[in-house]
């Protein structure tokens, strides 16, 4: 408009004026666009800018959005029609009116309008809209008449109004109705229901709250679905509270307890777990220390061998013990997790109990107990360790760049239009935390890397930089990083453990100014570069490992792998002394911790997915539940999975030798009784969960050798 008003016809001037009015950021982006024409090519410049900034249209996705458009609770038919008309413009329908009419009939809120459309096959979109307006107008007028009628009458039951349900008791007069979607007074003062677009926590449907949900209760639905052999057998058989004394080792001088409280007015908490590919219904008993199933359930599980047990379980306030047939160890699966546990089998058919510890391992419950920590550092100044993003003081890190490598300037990768607002918010956050900075317009940029957007589960995004090209020029600095097995030898005698996790660990190291240029990345908002050490740099892990070791290197009872810090001690006092010094160093050097990922004073250790107290059941579950191999390739895959737990299985090489013979070149694949025995022995060894202890140089060592 400005160009036309001023009579500018020269294409070079028009191109220059366009880029000038667009602003510095657009000019910067335009310079990065390849093949943007010469200085006199105005049409080429317009074409490239439109191609860059206009969001890419995908017809299939636009049709999907159109099909998913449903009429909202507070949306009139005309508003819904206008929204559908706008969505249809990008769908390229051959007959938009027919598609809109079909969408109104299928996804509209008016049942009366839907019935009328199905009754009259010659109904057009225009006729449907006229009929819909009449329905809305008549419903609104009827609601006003009925509301006035209720206000003028007393001593009668409240009537039902369209789109509202009145909950006033009989014999009282209601001045206002109650909304059937949110439970508040109706009509709403704002005209919009608070439940619009909200998800019900009871039935997971939209546009109403759980307090007014008219769907069948979840427990009732679960009861209807569970009318099978498990519930039919146990639903009328109460589970008696048990007092359990474990004498399996004939040396136990303490009692375990197992409680189950029966309530005739409420349903006991229960869950269905999978054992040997069969579903078993358990009552969850958080006070129980053992798992129990009855004899009838045990017979349904298949071929399990019971081990003898001397355990004694008593009913509450009873001296008569419950007779046990034995026990067995197996893999138990829930929808979320899997674990290996021991289950006791009773002779009586009284149902199944799941202990609190097993329920917690399966992710079914979460216990939050109040604990008093006598650690003076945490109680004195806890905020200093967990406040925001820290920065290592008086030290910067430098990236060594090979000048012989030719710099690479990569073009921007197109960002989906609906994610640009989230990218802008993430860039703003990184700038506010002093992690990145904008590249000045007057500064040359030899290295430019694109970004990669990774969606998170919480509907946010993670902004990643593709540093593959830049890493070819960064000389990697080699610093030794210890392994988990290296650390495990230092844990001999340790009884107390604390894990510390630094907040955005790499970002707490400041990059030297001369090292920032190679971290430059391009977005739709312009060029930025890192002021802190960024994730994706090939030498970041070694550099951070070295920097953190320089801060905490001489503290007894401390080790770290990258940003994961482990503090341990053989006694409570030794652990606290090491933790006190570690936190003091962290505070002195300006570093901060992520409180949500820190664990203090733990009696057992799980570090880098390795559980030092027992074999991780998540790792062995794939092997323990695997089918018997039928080819050489499947045998190799089986042995590869088993190698993870080989250190926990005595005589692993001897057990697996018959299986390894099948993998030798030229050996025919013949599955004999010998291989079958080896396969079953390997599975049994994994299920038994053997315990390994730390190597102690002060104890006698037994060496076993084969001749």
- Which of 602, 635, 658 is the last residue before a domain boundary? 602
Q: Does 162 map to a domain?
A: no
Q: Count the helix, strand and coil residues of the chain and give each as a percent rounded to the nearest 5.
A: 40, 15, 45
pLDDT digits (tens, 9 = 90+) for 347-384: 877 788 898 888 888 888 876 554 444 444 444 445 55
Asked if 581 and 554 count as a contact pair (C-beta separation under 8 A), the reply is no
Verify that 517 and 570 share a domain, yes or no: yes
Chain centroid to Cα 102, Å, comes to 38
- d(C-alpha 123, C-alpha 100), whole Å: 13
Verify that 353 and 466 share a domain, yes or no: no
Verify that 592 and 640 share a domain, yes or no: no
pLDDT of residue 2: 66
Q: Does 693 map to a domain?
A: no
Q: Does 356 map to a domain?
A: yes
Give the residue among 554, 567, 514, 520 at the shortest CA–CA distance from 398.
514
- d(C-alpha 569, C-alpha 397), whole Å: 32
- d(C-alpha 66, C-alpha 68), whole Å: 5
Verify that 493 and 572 share a domain, yes or no: yes
Cα angle: 135, vertex 136, 141; to 5 degrees:
100
Could you tell me whether strands 291-294 and 321-322 are parallel, antiparallel, or unpaired per DSSP bridges? unpaired
Asked whether the bond before 187 is cis by omega within 30 degrees of 0, the reply is: yes
Could you tell me whether strands 510-511 and 396-397 are parallel, antiparallel, or unpaired per DSSP bridges? parallel
Give the residue among 641, 646, 615 at the shortest CA–CA distance from 629.
641
Place of tokens 């004195």: 380
pLDDT of residue 40: 81
Give the residue among 235, 218, 583 at the shortest CA–CA distance from 378.
583
Two structure tokens written together for 445? 């940029």
Verify that 548 and 405 share a domain, yes or no: yes
Spatial neighbors of 344 by CB under 8 A, at least 6 apart, are 290, 291, 292, 293, 309, 311, 313, 324, 326, 327
Chain centroid to Cα 657, Å, comes to 40
pLDDT of residue 73: 81
- Which of 111, 141, 171 is the last residue before a domain boundary? 141
Spatial neighbors of 82 by CB under 8 A, at least 6 apart, are none
Verify that 462 and 505 share a domain, yes or no: yes
Burial of 271 (0-12, 13-18, 19+ CB in 10 A): middle
CA distances from 70 to 73, 76, 313 (A): 9, 12, 58
Burial of 161 (0-12, 13-18, 19+ CB in 10 A): buried
Neighbours of 457 (CB within 10 A): 5
pLDDT of residue 439: 93
Q: Rounded to 5 degrees, what are φ and ψ at 452? A: -130, 125
Verify that 84 and 44 share a domain, yes or no: no
Which three-class secondary structure state does DSSP give residue 60?
A: helix
- Which of 574, 602, 630 is the last residue before a domain boundary? 602
Two structure tokens written together for 416? 């989906």
Verify that 395 and 350 share a domain, yes or no: no
pLDDT of residue 151: 56
CATH number, residue 560? 3.10.10.10
Burial of 456 (0-12, 13-18, 19+ CB in 10 A): exposed
Which three-class secondary structure state does DSSP give residue 560?
A: strand
Q: Does 609 map to a domain?
A: no
Give the residue among 582, 422, 607, 450 at the shortest CA–CA distance from 523.
450
Two structure tokens written together for 325? 């047939």
Asked if 612 and 494 count as a contact pair (C-beta separation under 8 A), the reply is no
Verify that 309 and 423 share a domain, yes or no: no
Spatial neighbors of 216 by CB under 8 A, at least 6 apart, are none
- d(C-alpha 526, C-alpha 29), whole Å: 7
Two structure tokens written together for 133? 């307006």
Rg, C-alpha atoms of the chain? 35
Q: Does 701 map to a domain?
A: no
Asked if 465 and 573 count as a contact pair (C-beta separation under 8 A), the reply is no
Q: Does 630 map to a domain?
A: yes
pLDDT digits (tens, 9 = 90+) for 306-315: 888 888 777 6
CATH number, residue 681? 3.30.70.270
Q: Does 520 map to a domain?
A: yes
Two structure tokens written together for 443? 């500064």
Verify that 349 and 325 share a domain, yes or no: yes
Which three-class secondary structure state does DSSP give residue 559?
A: strand
The domain in which residue 104 lies consists of 59-141
pLDDT of residue 497: 86
Neighbours of 219 (CB within 10 A): 12
Torsion of CA 47, 48, 51, 54, to 10 degrees: -90
Helices then strands, counting H and E runs in the chain, come out as 23, 27
Query: What total number of domains does the chain contain?
Result: 5
3-state secondary structure 535-556: CCCCCHHHHHHHHHHHHHCCCC
Q: What secondary structure letter does DSSP report for 417?
A: G
CA distances from 531 to 122, 430, 493, 525, 534 (A): 68, 10, 43, 18, 8
Two structure tokens written together for 636? 């190799």
Query: Which residues in the chain show pLDDT less than 50?
Result: 153-175, 218-241, 243, 245-265, 370-381, 609, 613-616
Asked if 600 and 497 count as a contact pair (C-beta separation under 8 A), the reply is no
pLDDT of residue 415: 86
Verify that 561 and 656 share a domain, yes or no: no
Spatial neighbors of 7 by CB under 8 A, at least 6 apart, are none
Chain centroid to Cα 701, Å, comes to 45
Q: Give the bridge partners for 84, in sequence order.
A: none
Q: Does 184 map to a domain?
A: no
Verify that 487 and 632 share a domain, yes or no: no
pLDDT of residue 698: 67
- d(C-alpha 282, C-alpha 231), whole Å: 10
Which three-class secondary structure state does DSSP give residue 291?
A: strand
Q: Which residues of 364-389 are buried (b: 16+ CB within 10 A; e: fewer)?
A: bbeeeeeeeeebebbeeeeeebeeeb
Two structure tokens written together for 409? 């300037």
């Amino acid at each position: 408009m400005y160009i036309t008003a001023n009579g500018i016809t020269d294409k070079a001037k028009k191109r220059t004026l366009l880029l000038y009015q667009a602003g510095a950021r657009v000019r910067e982006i335009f310079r990065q666009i390849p093949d943007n024409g010469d200085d006199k090519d105005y049409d080429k410049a317009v074409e490239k800018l439109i191609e860059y900034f206009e969001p890419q249209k995908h017809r299939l996705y636009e049709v999907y959005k159109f099909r998913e458009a449903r009429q909202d609770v507070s949306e009139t038919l005309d508003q819904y029609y206008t929204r559908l008309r706008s969505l249809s413009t990008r769908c390229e329908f051959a007959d938009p009116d027919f598609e809109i009419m079909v969408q109104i009939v299928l996804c509209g809120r008016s049942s009366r309008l839907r019935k009328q459309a199905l009754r009259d096959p010659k109904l057009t979109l225009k006729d449907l809209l006229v009929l819909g307006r009449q329905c809305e107008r008549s419903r609104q007028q009827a609601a006003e008449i009925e509301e006035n009628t209720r206000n003028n009458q007393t001593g009668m039951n409240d009537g039902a109004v369209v789109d509202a349900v009145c909950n006033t008791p009989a014999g009282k007069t209601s001045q206002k109705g109650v909304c059937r979607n949110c439970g508040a007074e109706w009509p709403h003062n704002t005209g919009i229901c608070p439940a619009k677009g909200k998800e019900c926590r009871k039935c997971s449907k939209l546009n109403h709250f759980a307090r007014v949900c008219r769907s069948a209760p979840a427990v009732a639905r679960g009861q209807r679905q569970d009318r099978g052999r498990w519930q039919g057998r146990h639903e009328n058989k109460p589970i008696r509270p048990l007092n359990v004394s474990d004498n399996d080792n004939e040396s136990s001088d303490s009692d375990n307890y197992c409680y189950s409280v029966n309530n005739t007015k409420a349903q006991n908490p229960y869950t269905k777990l999978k054992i040997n590919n069969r579903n078993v219904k358990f009552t969850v008993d958080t006070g129980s220390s053992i798992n129990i199933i009855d004899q009838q359930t045990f017979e349904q599980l298949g071929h399990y061998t019971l081990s003898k047990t001397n355990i004694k379980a008593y009913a509450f306030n009873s001296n008569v013990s419950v007779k046990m047939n034995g026990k067995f160890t197996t893999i138990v699966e829930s929808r979320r997790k899997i674990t290996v546990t021991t289950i006791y089998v009773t002779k009586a058919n009284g149902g199944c109990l799941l202990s609190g510890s097993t329920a917690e391992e399966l992710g079914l419950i979460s216990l939050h107990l109040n604990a008093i920590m006598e650690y003076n550092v945490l109680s004195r100044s806890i905020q200093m360790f967990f406040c925001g993003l820290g920065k290592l003081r008086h030290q910067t890190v430098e990236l060594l760049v090979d000048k012989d490598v030719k710099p690479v300037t990569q073009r921007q990768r197109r960002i989906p239009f609906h994610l640009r607002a989230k990218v802008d918010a993430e860039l703003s956050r990184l700038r506010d935390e002093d992690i990145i900075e904008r590249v000045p317009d007057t500064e040359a940029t030899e290295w430019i890397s694109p970004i990669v957007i990774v969606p998170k589960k919480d509907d946010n995004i993670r902004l990643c930089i593709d540093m593959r090209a830049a890493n070819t020029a960064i000389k990697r600095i080699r610093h030794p990083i210890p392994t988990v097995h290296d650390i495990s030898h230092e844990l001999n005698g340790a009884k107390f453990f604390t894990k510390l996790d630094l907040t955005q660990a790499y970002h707490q190291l400041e990059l030297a100014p001369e090292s920032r240029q190679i971290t430059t990345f391009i977005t739709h908002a312009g060029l930025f570069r890192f002021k802190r050490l960024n994730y994706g740099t090939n030498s970041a892990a070694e550099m951070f490992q070295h920097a953190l070791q320089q801060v905490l290197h001489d503290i007894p009872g401390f080790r770290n792998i990258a940003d994961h810090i482990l503090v341990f001690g053989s006694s409570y006092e030794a652990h606290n002394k090491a933790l006190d010094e570690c936190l003091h160093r962290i505070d002195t050097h300006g570093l901060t911790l992520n409180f949500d990922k820190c664990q203090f004073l733990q009696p057992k250790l799980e570090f880098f997915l390795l559980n030092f107290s027992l074999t991780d059941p998540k790792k062995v579950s794939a092997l323990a539940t695997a089918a018997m191999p039928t080819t050489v390739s499947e045998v190799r895959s089986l042995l590869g999975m088993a190698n993870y737990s080989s250190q926990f299985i005595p005589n692993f090489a001897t057990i697996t030798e018959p299986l390894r013979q099948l993998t030798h070149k030229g050996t025919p694949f013949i599955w004999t009784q010998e291989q079958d025995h080896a396969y079953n022995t390997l599975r049994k060894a994994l299920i038994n969960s053997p315990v390994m202890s730390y190597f102690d140089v002060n104890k006698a060592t037994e060496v076993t050798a084969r001749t």
